[in-house]
Chains A and B, each alone.
Chain A
Amino acid sequence: MQQITMGQAVQQALFEEMRRDPDVFIAGEGVGQSIHESPIMPTYGLLKEFGPSRVKDTPVSEAAIAGLAVGSSVMGLRPVVEIMFNPFITIASDQIVNHAAKLRYLSGGKSTFPMVVRVKTGAGFGAGCQHSHNLEAWVAHCPGLKVVMPGTPADAKGLLKSAIRDDNPVIFIEDMMLYFAPGQVPKEDYSIPIGVADIKKQGKDVTVVTWSKMLGVAFKAATELSKEGIEIEIVDLRTLAPLDKETILQSVRKTGRLVILHEATRTGGFGGEIAALVAEEAFGDLKAPIKRVAAPDIPVPFSPPLEQFYIPNEGQLIQAVKTLTSL
């Protein structure tokens, strides 16, 4: 075990996979020579070890970067491309939504696209709404894409390895603020399967389904709630598509109560999908209505107090949990 941040965990996965498989290459704006000369950033040091033929600094051209991944992957390479911030995925989205996601289907299953698109996301670094916008529900809505959103360094390393080894297009979404969050990570080569949720904390009273940075919020709330004798069970989805329905349903059947917590805005967010799933499949097990804790339906404001107001916090989660337990 080693104590490293998520940025370093992503970096380790990239190093190890590039050493393991010569077909893996990376591309993106500043993945080699970066303005962030920091050893904890995900692509730090790759250029030095693997050289410019495998670490491709690209022009500012998101559509072409995504297309590069689509075209090179169908030829058998395993591209890991980076789209700098989640909102810029909109520029790459023709390639991602109309091509990466659909070309296998269109070929009748004959072609495969083993590509990974790494995307930075999350509010909290004071850059405003054109840099901070959680769009995971958009991509999760596209059949043909796998969508992964790790919440811990260990998960990030193991899931990124699986993503790189996966023969499908994977959108791998990394929360910026988590780059600096440390955690225990195995030193050895290991992978975590895509599509398997993880129960991060057992509990009997309320199921909290969450992912990515909100995992930390769930843990903070859990500590507070424990003091009052309420034990929440934290289900970390880790992967939105394909969705581990069984783990969610089992947990809800056990606790009878569900709160979904995500940073993305509420309306049309992925939380709605989980609520619908549980309403369809475990309605009879529910002792209380389902609740969502999510950001308000606004773009991420810049002003520091407003940005904090935007980000869901443990107070809101605690309140939601207590509402359900008091019913």
Chain B
Amino acid sequence: MTNQSKLESYETMLLIRRFEEKLTELCKMERKIPGMMILCTGQEAVAAGVCGALEKDDVIISNHRSHGHLIAKGADTKELMAEIYGKRTGCNKGKSGTLHMAVPEVNALCTTTVVGGGIPIAVGTAFAQQYKKQDQITVCFFGNGTTDEGSFHEALNMAALWNLPVIFVCENNVYAGAQRTEHITKIKDIAVRAMAYDMPGEIVDGNDAVAVYEAINSARARCLLGEGPILLECKTYRWRGHGEADHQVYQPKDEIDAWMARCPIKKLQGELMQEGLLSEQDIVRIEARVAETVESAVDFAEKSPWPDLQEALEDVYV
């Protein structure tokens, strides 16, 4: 990973963090933001590491926890924020809201909130990439709980069978809803599921953006050689509840603290400073830039108009 990429990953993670901290704040303010709000706070290294290693034309398929993925892939934060508000200027004109934003401009072709729904779609996009002989790959993000759905198994089998250029990225954040991994699946590592499809299954520290980046970088090269898919399990942790209304009664406080002490952003920041790539002044400068981006996104969303009611009827068909 180049120094440049490391610095970019750092800023991306910071942007995701501050963007979502703002959402947490907004959710506390009555009626600012409707509906559910599912955040990836604590998991930024996966988003930044994965998308940092991708080319613009590579496709990502995301899930209900998509803010990080979309920001890291380069989606416009103003349009994301406006969508989360339900405004007309949102990336999906207010049709989606936070849960299933699609940003085709950056090849984020589907984020689905149907658990497991995106994995077979990733088989389809990867198939198209192979079919058209494009030097592109697909990355599909999902959680550990998602690998209990039948769609996961059907899709991995088919992808392996046809050597499709797809990387299945499992963000194992210890929970699925209120259920801890060990209460819903007998295996300890999701990566072993790859074995059933004769596909490599790798485990990486999901709080280490550099490690994630390197893993994706080599998996991508492998995909482009036509050697087929891989399953990459990123071990990480969900700091927030499953939705901002979740009081996390089932999540031990000391467990959260232990993981917060392993903050992926602090980790990379420490490394960059040690390597002399980042100074205190740089940090202040980057923080200011990120804060400005978030503020202007909120400002844009606040000032944007609601859609006209008739717009509800548009976009069902071409």
Contacts and interface: CB of A to CB of B under 8 A. Distances in A.
B313 A304 contact: no
Contact of B35 (A59, A62, A63, A125): A125
A76 interface: no
Contacts of B306: 303-305
B35 A128 contact: yes
B113 A59 contact: no
Given A33-B178, A60-B148, A303-B306, A128 B113 contact: yes
B99 A60 contact: no
A158 B119 CA distance: 41
Interface in B176-190: 176-179, 183-185
Interface string A8-50: 0000000000000000000001100111110000000000000
Given A35-B242, A37-B247, A59-B145, A299 B316 contact: yes
Which DSSP category, helix, strand, loop or mixed, fits chain A's interface?
Answer: loop
Interface residues of A, number: 37
A131 interface: yes
A298 B311 CA distance: 11
Nearest to A296: B313
B173 to A, nearest CB: 14
B95 A130 contact: no
Interface in A115-153: 125-131
Interface residues of B, number: 48
Contact of B178 (A30, A64, A131, A297): A30
B203 interface: no
A30 B179 CA distance: 7
B162 interface: no
A126 B242 contact: no
A88 B113 CA distance: 10
A301 to B, nearest CB: 5
Contacts of B311: 306
A63 B114 CA distance: 13
Contact of A60 (B93, B145, B241): B145
Given A57-B178, A60-B149, A61-B150, 18 more contacts: A30-B177, A35-B246, A59-B179, A60-B116, A60-B145, A60-B146, A60-B184, A64-B150, A126-B35, A130-B99, A131-B36, A296-B312, A301-B312, A302-B97, A303-B94, A303-B97, A306-B95, A309-B309
Interface of B: 34-36, 86-88, 90, 93-97, 99-100, 112-117, 145-146, 148-151, 176-179, 183-185, 241-243, 245-247, 249-250, 306-307, 309, 311-313, 316
List 4 A-B pairs, minimum CB-CB distance, nearest first.
Answer: A126-B35, A303-B94, A302-B97, A303-B86
